[in-house]
Amino acid sequence: MSNTLNTTPRQDGFRMPGEHEPQQAVLMAWPERADNWRENAAPAQAAFAAVARAIAVATPVIVCASGEQMEKARTMLPATVELLKIPSNDSWMRDIGPSYLVDDAGQRRGVDWQFNAWGGAVNGLYADWSLDDALAGELLSLRGEDRYRAPLVLEGGSIHVDGEGTCITTAECLMHPGRNPGLDASRIEGLLSDYLGVDRVIWLPRGLCNDETDGHVDNILHIAGPAEVLLTWCDNPEDPVYTICRECLDTLEQQRDARGRAFTVHKLPLPGPLHVTAREAAGIQPSTSMVRTAGERLAASYANFLITNGRVVFPLLDPAHDHTARSILQAVFPDREVIGIDGREILLGGGNIHCITQQIPA
């Protein structure tokens, strides 16, 4: 059993570590939603299993699945992967799982954010998100880890932290009327400070175009380490991402991190543009909540990778740019093995490798 605490992490001396810090395990959730994942999620399940295998070589993997999917998940996942019977409405563990915190004594606790399917009544992707919202609390309880229930609608993909006091987010997402319409930027900054243990919040204006998460930061930028980031970059003036990434770079060049350091920015190529094919769209079960149409532009990004112990696992998205992305990642992470996994099926659901994972710090 775990306790739900009435204090804040900052009061108790807890902080969210950077993704580059040592990890105990990586969390995932098993996909099955037929109106998001084509062909009853079979191709997505194969992709999730491939990601789990790549991570499990370096870091233990824990996968949450519904009772109906436990047997199938067990047959497709490596034997070393731990399976937990916790259902969810969809499978974006970064957004529905807890954000883990540590203190100087090595204790670990989790933040359970409020979740409303990326926009609730304003522009949420589905009407019932009750299982998603409950997952973090159930997981923490099952693991016997204390829980902070934050008074903030927030998805884990909307924040990046460096573990040294800095948080990077986007105004497009956190200031969206579908999240916390009663809160202004300063109040949101205060809550991020209280619940992540950060001292400085840097607001990028926007995330990738056509990102149905309202511009999650993890789909355009990734923190590699203290004062070092990778930013999606587009050199085609006709592409809307051309302006977006320059706005982000301008912000980063004007800002300093929580310790006063200027940012080193590495540019990752923008894949594509990539679009949904007619065959892919035809394999998705029609619904009123999530509409997937042939020709729709996908929010594809190499920044949507996972740093884990000794490895970086990134999505292969575009043969024209995969090798360049790998080379850049290897140069930024010389002490880690860079592993590419076909990310197309995950991308079709609306995100990628970072979106479907959530690290538990060591």
Q: How confident is the model at residue 246 (pLDDT cuts 50, 70, 90)?
A: very high
- The whole-angstrom separation of Cα 82 and Cα 74 is 9
Residue spans of the domains in the chain: they are: 9-361
- The whole-angstrom separation of Cα 209 and Cα 298 is 9
Predicted local confidence at residue 288, as pLDDT: 82
Predicted local confidence at residue 265, as pLDDT: 98
- The whole-angstrom separation of Cα 92 and Cα 346 is 10
4 secondary structure, DSSP code: B
By the 10 Å C-beta count (0-12 exposed, 13-18 middle, 19+ buried), 128 is classed as exposed
Predicted local confidence at residue 95, as pLDDT: 98
102 secondary structure, DSSP code: E
- The whole-angstrom separation of Cα 220 and Cα 238 is 18
Residue with tokens 């990134």: 314
**173 belongs to the catalytic site:** no
Q: Classify domain 9-361 at the CATH class level.
A: alpha beta
Predicted local confidence at residue 149, as pLDDT: 98
Mean pLDDT of all residues in 256-273: 98
From the list 64, 167, 234, 355, the catalytic residue is: 355
Cβ(221)–Cβ(168) below 8 Å: yes
Q: How confident is the model at residue 287 (pLDDT cuts 50, 70, 90)?
A: confident
pLDDT tens digit sequence for 5-47:
999 999 999 999 999 999 999 999 999 999 999 999 999 999 9
- Count of helices and strands (H, E) across the chain: 12, 16
Mean pLDDT of all residues in 169-191: 97
13 secondary structure, DSSP code: T
- The whole-angstrom separation of Cα 73 and Cα 78 is 9
Residue 43 half-sphere exposure, CB side, CA atoms within 13 Å? 15
Output the 3-class SS for 245-274.
HHHHHHHHHHCCCCCCCCCEEEEEECCCCC
Mean pLDDT of all residues in 223-236: 98
Mean pLDDT of all residues in 225-247: 98
Please state, in angstroms and as integers, the Cα–Cα distance from residue 256 to each residue in 110, 231, 251, 295, following that order: 28, 16, 10, 40
Predicted local confidence at residue 236, as pLDDT: 98
The Cα angle at residue 230 between residues 155 and 299, in degrees rounded to 5:
55
Q: Say whether pLDDT at 158 is over 90.
A: yes
Mean pLDDT of all residues in 329-342: 98
- The whole-angstrom separation of Cα 338 and Cα 315 is 11
Q: How confident is the model at residue 74 (pLDDT cuts 50, 70, 90)?
A: very high
Mean pLDDT of all residues in 134-157: 98
List all residues 6 or more positions away from 292 whose beta carbon is below 8 Å from its beta carbon. 36, 276, 280, 281, 284, 348
Q: Say whether pLDDT at 304 is over 90.
A: yes
Predicted local confidence at residue 292, as pLDDT: 85
Closest by alpha carbon to 29, among 14, 12, 15, 41? Answer: 41
Q: Which pTM does this prediction carry?
A: 0.98
By the 10 Å C-beta count (0-12 exposed, 13-18 middle, 19+ buried), 136 is classed as buried
Q: Long-range pairs for 182-189 at CB < 8 Å and ≥24 separation?
A: 183/152, 188/152
Mean pLDDT of all residues in 242-263: 98
Q: Long-range pairs for 68-73 at CB < 8 Å and ≥24 separation?
A: 68/32, 69/30, 69/32, 72/45, 73/30, 73/45
Q: Say whether pLDDT at 284 is over 80.
A: yes
Q: Say whether pLDDT at 290 is over 90.
A: no
Task: Specify the DSSP element, H or E, that contains 72.
Answer: helix 70-76
Q: Say whether pLDDT at 1 is over 80.
A: no
- The whole-angstrom separation of Cα 69 and Cα 248 is 41
pLDDT tens digit sequence for 212-221:
999 999 999 9
